[in-house]
Amino acid sequence: MDMPKPDTAVLARREQIVAKLLGILPPAAVIHDPTETRAYECDALTAYRCPPLAAVLPATTEEVVAVLRLCHAEGVKVIPRGAGTSLAGGALPTEDSIILGVARMRSVLEVDYPNRFIRVQTGMTNLSVTGAVESDGFFYAPDPSSQLACAIAGNIAMNSGGAHCLKYGVTTNNLLGVTMVLMDGSVVELGGAHMDAGGLDLLGLVCGSEGQLGVVTEATLRILPKPEGARPVLIGFDSNEVAGECVSDIIKAGVLPVAIEFMDRPCIRATEAFAKAGYPDCEALLIIEVEGSEAEIDEQMSLISSIARRHNPVELRESRSADESARIWLGRKSAFGAMGQINDYMCLDGTIPVSSLPHVLRRIGEMSREYGLEVANVFHAGDGNMHPLILFDANKPGDLELCEAFGADILKLCVEVGGCLTGEHGVGVEKRDLMHVQYAPADLEAQLRVKDVFDPDWLLNPAKVFPLDATESRRVA
Amino acid sequence: MRPSNETELSEAIRDAGGPLVVRGGGTRPVGRPVSGEVLSVAGITGISLFEPGALTLVAAAGTPLAEVEAVLSEGGQRLPFEPMDHRGLLGSEGVPTLGGMVAANASGPRRVQAGACRDSLIGVRFVDGTGTVVKNGGRVMKNVTGLDLVKLMAGSWGTLGVLSEVAFKLLPRPETETTLVLEGLDDARAVAAMAAALGSPFEVTGAAHLPDGRTILRQEGFAASVAYRAGALAGHLAGFGTCARLDAGESADLWAGVRDVATFHAAAGDVWRLSVKPSDAPDIVTKAGGRALYDWGGGLIWLLMPEGCDLRALLGPINGHATLIRANTATRAGIASFHPAPATVTALAEGLRRRFDPRGILNPGLME
d(C-alpha A273, C-alpha B62), whole Å? 55
Amino acid identity at A274 = F
* End-of-domain residue from the set A365, A399, A416: A416
d(C-alpha A97, C-alpha A7), whole Å? 9
What is the mean predicted confidence (pLDDT) over A26-40? 96
Give the bridge partners for B58, in sequence order: B49, B167
Closest CB from A355, A431, A439 relative to B51: A355
CATH number at residue A269: 3.40.462.10
Query: Would you state the pLDDT for residue A275?
Result: 87
What is the mean predicted confidence (pLDDT) over B122-128? 98
* End-of-domain residue from the set A102, A119, A145: A102
3-state secondary structure of B24: coil
What is the mean predicted confidence (pLDDT) over A311-333? 92
First to last CA, chain A: 23
Same domain, residue pair A325 and A259: yes
Best mutation site among A136, A196, A466 for testing chain B: the one with the most B CBs within 10 Å? A196
Q: For A179-188, A286-295, B113-122, which range has the lowest pLDDT when averaged over its residues? A: A286-295
- What are the angstrom distances between the C-alpha of B223 and each of A429, B177, B230? 49, 8, 10
Question: Please, what are the domains in chain B?
Answer: 6-172 (3.30.465.10), 176-259 (3.30.70.1710), 262-334 (3.30.70)
Query: Would you state the pLDDT for residue A477?
Result: 60
Question: Does the pLDDT of residue B223 top 90, yes or no?
Answer: yes
With an 8 Å Cβ cutoff, are A450 and B149 in contact? yes
Contact between B161 and B357 (Cβ < 8 Å): yes
**Chain A residue with Cα closest to B349:** A200
What is the mean predicted confidence (pLDDT) over A217-237? 96
d(C-alpha A377, C-alpha A243), whole Å? 13
The CB density around residue B346, as the number of other CB atoms within 10 Å, is 14
Question: Does the pLDDT of residue B124 top 80, yes or no?
Answer: yes
Contact between B250 and B217 (Cβ < 8 Å): no
Nearest to A255 by CA among A293, A299, A321: A299
CATH number at residue A116: 3.30.465.10
Same domain, residue pair A296 and A346: yes
Same domain, residue pair A342 and A392: yes
Per-residue model confidence as pLDDT tens digits over B227-245:
999 999 999 999 999 999 9
Query: Would you state the pLDDT for residue A188?
Result: 98
Is A355 in CB contact (< 8 Å) with chain B?
A: yes
Highest mean pLDDT: which of A249-258, A386-395, B240-249?
A: B240-249
Cite the beta strand spans of B130-264 per DSSP E.
133-137, 161-169, 171-172, 176-182, 204-209, 215-221, 244-246
Contact between A4 and A475 (Cβ < 8 Å): yes
Pairing of strands A97-101, A54-56: parallel
**Chain A residue with Cα closest to B344:** A188
Amino acid identity at A347 = C
Is B287 in CB contact (< 8 Å) with chain A?
A: no
d(C-alpha B132, C-alpha B14), whole Å? 8
Window 5-64 of A: residues touching B by CB (8 A cutoff) are: none
- What are the angstrom distances between the C-alpha of B214 and each of A119, A207, B266, B296? 32, 38, 20, 15
Is B189 in CB contact (< 8 Å) with chain A?
A: no
Query: Would you state the pLDDT for residue B171?
Result: 95
Closest CB from B53, B128, B338 relative to A354: B53
- In chain B, residues with a C-beta closer than 8 Å to the C-beta of A426 are 144
Q: Does A440 fall in a domain?
A: no
3-state secondary structure of B250: helix
Q: How many degrees, rounded to 5, is the angle at CA B150 between CA A164 and CA B1? A: 145
Q: Does A251 fall in a domain?
A: yes
The CB density around residue B358, as the number of other CB atoms within 10 Å, is 12
Q: Does A27 fall in a domain?
A: yes
With an 8 Å Cβ cutoff, are B198 and A187 in contact? no
Contact between A199 and B345 (Cβ < 8 Å): yes
Q: Does A362 fall in a domain?
A: yes
With an 8 Å Cβ cutoff, are A201 and B152 in contact? yes
**Chain B residue with Cα closest to A229:** B201
Nearest to A11 by CA among A89, A81, A96, A93: A96
Is B54 in CB contact (< 8 Å) with chain A?
A: yes
Q: Does A425 fall in a domain?
A: no
Query: Would you state the pLDDT for residue A163?
Result: 81
Same domain, residue pair A185 and A252: no
With an 8 Å Cβ cutoff, are A446 and B128 in contact? yes
Burial class (CB in 10 A: 0-12, 13-18, 19+), A106: middle
Q: For A101-105, A296-300, B215-219, B344-348, which range has the lowest pLDDT when averaged over its residues? A: A296-300
Closest CB from B155, B296, B342 relative to A197: B155
**Chain B residue with Cα closest to A464:** B146
3-state secondary structure of B85: coil
Best mutation site among A112, A117, A195 for testing chain B: the one with the most B CBs within 10 Å? A195
DSSP B313-345: HHH-S-SEEEEEEE--HHHHHHS-SSPPPPHHH
d(C-alpha B99, C-alpha B59), whole Å? 9
| Domains identified in chain A, total number | 3
Window 228-247 of A: residues touching B by CB (8 A cutoff) are: 228, 247
Best mutation site among B117, B143, B315 for testing chain A: the one with the most A CBs within 10 Å? B143
CATH number at residue A58: 3.30.43.10
* Rg of chain A taking only CA atoms, in angstroms: 23
The CB density around residue A401, as the number of other CB atoms within 10 Å, is 10
Pairing of strands A230-237, A175-181: unpaired
Same domain, residue pair A245 and A332: yes
With an 8 Å Cβ cutoff, are B105 and A196 in contact? yes
Nearest 5°: phi and psi at A67?
A: -65, -45
Same domain, residue pair A240 and A343: yes
- In chain B, residues with a C-beta closer than 8 Å to the C-beta of A173 are 115, 119
Provide the pLDDT confidence category of residue B138 given band limits of 50, 70 and 90: very high
With an 8 Å Cβ cutoff, are A355 and B115 in contact? no
Angle between helices B187-198 and B223-236 (to 10 degrees): 130
Spatial strand order in the sheet of B47-51:
B47-51, B56-60, B161-169, B121-128, B133-137
Amino acid identity at A73 = A
First to last CA, chain B: 25
DSSP category for residue B137:
E
Those residues whose C-beta lies under 8 Å from the C-beta of residue A242, and which sit 6 or more positions away, are: A284, A311, A312
Same domain, residue pair A315 and A268: yes
Is B365 in CB contact (< 8 Å) with chain A?
A: no
Looking from the CA of B198 toward its CB, the CA atoms found within 13 Å total 32
Same domain, residue pair A156 and A175: yes
Is A159 in CB contact (< 8 Å) with chain B?
A: yes
- In chain B, residues with a C-beta closer than 8 Å to the C-beta of A204 are 118, 148, 150-152, 154
To the nearest whole Å, the CA of B166 is away from the closest chain A CA by 15
Closest CB from A197, A296, A427 relative to B225: A296
Q: Does A79 fall in a domain?
A: yes
Largest distance between two CA atoms of chain A: 71
Q: In this complex, how many residue pairs, one in chain A and one in chain B, have their CB atoms less than 8 Å apart?
A: 269
Is B14 in CB contact (< 8 Å) with chain A?
A: no
With an 8 Å Cβ cutoff, are A225 and B278 in contact? no
Query: Would you state the pLDDT for residue A241?
Result: 86
Window 255-284 of A: residues touching B by CB (8 A cutoff) are: 255-256
- In chain B, residues with a C-beta closer than 8 Å to the C-beta of A438 are 145-146
Those residues whose C-beta lies under 8 Å from the C-beta of residue B70, and which sit 6 or more positions away, are: none
Nearest to B282 by CA among B299, B268, B259, B257: B299
Nearest 5°: phi and psi at B229?
A: -70, -35
Residue B146 backbone zone (phi > 0: left; psi -120 to 50: alpha; other: beta): left
Same domain, residue pair A305 and A196: no
Query: Would you state the pLDDT for residue A379?
Result: 86
Question: Does the pLDDT of residue A476 top 90, yes or no?
Answer: no
With an 8 Å Cβ cutoff, are A202 and B232 in contact? no
Closest CB from B111, B173, B338 relative to A198: B338
Query: Would you state the pLDDT for residue A358?
Result: 85
Domain encompassing residue A117: 108-225
- What are the angstrom distances between the C-alpha of A8 and each of A2, A4, A13, A96, B338? 17, 12, 9, 8, 47
Is B319 in CB contact (< 8 Å) with chain A?
A: yes
Same domain, residue pair A238 and A194: no
Same domain, residue pair A245 and A392: yes
Same domain, residue pair A141 and A188: yes
What is the mean predicted confidence (pLDDT) over A237-253? 90
Best mutation site among A110, A200, A207 for testing chain B: the one with the most B CBs within 10 Å? A200
Provide the percentage of residues in chain B whose pLDDT is more than 90: 99
- What are the angstrom distances between the C-alpha of B207 and each of B95, B301, B330? 28, 12, 34
Is A465 in CB contact (< 8 Å) with chain B?
A: yes
> Mapped to the 3 state alphabet, what secondary structure does chain A carry?
CCCCCCCHHHHHCHHHHHHHHHHHCCHHHEECCHHHHHHHCCCCCCCCCCCCCEEECCCCHHHHHHHHHHHHHHCCEEEEECCCCCCCCCCCCCCCEEEEECCCCCCEEEEECCCCEEEEECCCEHHHHHHHHHHHCEECCCCCCCCCCCEHHHHHHHCCCCCCHHHHCCHHHCEEEEEEECCCCCEEEEECCCCCCCCCCHHHHHCCCCCCCCEEEEEEEECEECCCCEEEEEEEECCHHHHHHHHHHHHHCCCCCCEEEEEEHHHHHHHHHHHCCCCCCCCEEEEEEEECCHHHHHHHHHHHHHHHHCCCCCEEEECCCHHHHHHHHHHHHHHHHHHHHHCEEEECCCECCHHHHHHHHHHHHHHHHHHCCCEEEEEECCCCEEEEEEEECCCCCCHHHHHHHHHHHHHHHHHHCCCECCCCCCCCCCCHHHHHHHCCHHHHHHHHHHHHHHCCCCCECCCCCCCHHHHHHHHHC
Nearest to A211 by CA among A162, A172, A153: A153
Q: What is the pTM of this model?
A: 0.97
Is B358 in CB contact (< 8 Å) with chain A?
A: no
Per-residue model confidence as pLDDT tens digits over B19-77:
999 999 999 999 999 999 999 999 999 999 999 989 999 999 999 999 999 999 999 99
d(C-alpha A134, C-alpha A138), whole Å? 5
Question: Does the pLDDT of residue A272 top 80, yes or no?
Answer: yes
Contact between B142 and A351 (Cβ < 8 Å): yes
Q: Does A450 fall in a domain?
A: no
d(C-alpha B284, C-alpha A285), whole Å? 53
The enclosing H or E element of B275 equals strand B270-276
Per-residue model confidence as pLDDT tens digits over B245-256:
999 999 999 999
Q: Does A436 fall in a domain?
A: no
With an 8 Å Cβ cutoff, are A292 and B140 in contact? no
**Chain B residue with Cα closest to A211:** B147
- In chain B, residues with a C-beta closer than 8 Å to the C-beta of A87 are none
The residue count for chain A: 477
- In chain A, residues with a C-beta closer than 8 Å to the C-beta of B237 are none
Contact between B140 and B122 (Cβ < 8 Å): yes
Amino acid identity at B194 = M
d(C-alpha B64, C-alpha B299), whole Å? 29
What is the mean predicted confidence (pLDDT) over B358-366? 97
d(C-alpha B337, C-alpha B330), whole Å? 12
Is A168 in CB contact (< 8 Å) with chain B?
A: no
With an 8 Å Cβ cutoff, are B146 and A447 in contact? yes
What is the mean predicted confidence (pLDDT) over A412-422? 97
* End-of-domain residue from the set A70, A102, A134: A102
Window 191-220 of A: residues touching B by CB (8 A cutoff) are: 192-205, 207-209, 212
